[in-house]
C-alpha cells in the first residue's frame, strides 16, 4: 500500500536527523543489531562481545548502549532531535498550553 504523502506532516531536515530518529526507534524497540544479538545467532563467529568504543569491559548490549558514558552526548542529541520533531508536529493550540521544556521532560 502506498503511503499518503498528504497525511505525513513531519519533514526531516537532513539524512542525519532521519538516522538519529531511526536509531532511537530501533533502540526503543530493542532492534539495534548489537554483539549480544549477533552472538545469539552465530556464536562461532562473534565470540568477543565486549563493546569496543569504551574501555569499561562491558558486553555490547542494548542496555549498555543506553547507559554507556561514551554514548551520552549522542543520546542527548537524539533526545533533542525527537523533542524538536515532536514540537513541530504539535498543533498550535497544544503549543500554547505547554512549552518545549515540558515536552522534553515527557520524552
Non-local (6+) Cβ contacts of 76 within 8 A are none
Which residue stretch of 25-33, 61-69, 81-89, 93-101 sits at the interface with Zn ion (rule: CB under 5 A)? 61-69
> How far apart, in Å, are the Cα atoms of 30 and each of 57, 61, 66?
21, 10, 11
Of 68, 78, 82, 83, which one interacts with Zn ion (CB under 5 A)?
Answer: 68
Q: What are the cell numbers at 39?
A: 552472538
> How far apart, in Å, are the Cα atoms of 9 and each of 75, 87, 89, 90, 99?
25, 12, 7, 10, 20
Near Zn ion in 27-56, by CB under 5 A: 54, 56
Q: Measured from the CB atom, is 39 or 54 closer to Zn ion?
A: 54
Which residue stretch of 5-13, 15-23, 63-71, 88-96 sits at the interface with Zn ion (rule: CB under 5 A)? 63-71
Which residue stretch of 4-12, 42-50, 67-75, 92-100 sits at the interface with Zn ion (rule: CB under 5 A)? 67-75
The contact set with Zn ion (CB under 5 A) reads 54, 56, 68
Amino acid at each position: 500500500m502506498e503511503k499518503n504523502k498528504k497525511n505525513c506532516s513531519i519533514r526531516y531536515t537532513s539524512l542525519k536527523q532521519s538516522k538519529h530518529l531511526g536509531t532511537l526507534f530501533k533502540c526503543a524497540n530493542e532492534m539495534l543489531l548489537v554483539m549480544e544479538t549477533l552472538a545469539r545467532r552465530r556464536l562461532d563467529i562473534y565470540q568477543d562481545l565486549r563493546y569496543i568504543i569504551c574501555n569499561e569491559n562491558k558486553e555490547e548490549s542494548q542496555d549498555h548502549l543506553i547507559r554507556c558514558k561514551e554514548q551520552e552526548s549522542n543520546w542527548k542529541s537524539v533526545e533533542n532531535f525527537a523533542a524538536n520533531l515532536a514540537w513541530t508536529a504539535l498543533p498550535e493550540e497544544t503549543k500554547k498550553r505547554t512549552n518545549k521544556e515540558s515536552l522534553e521532560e515527557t520524552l
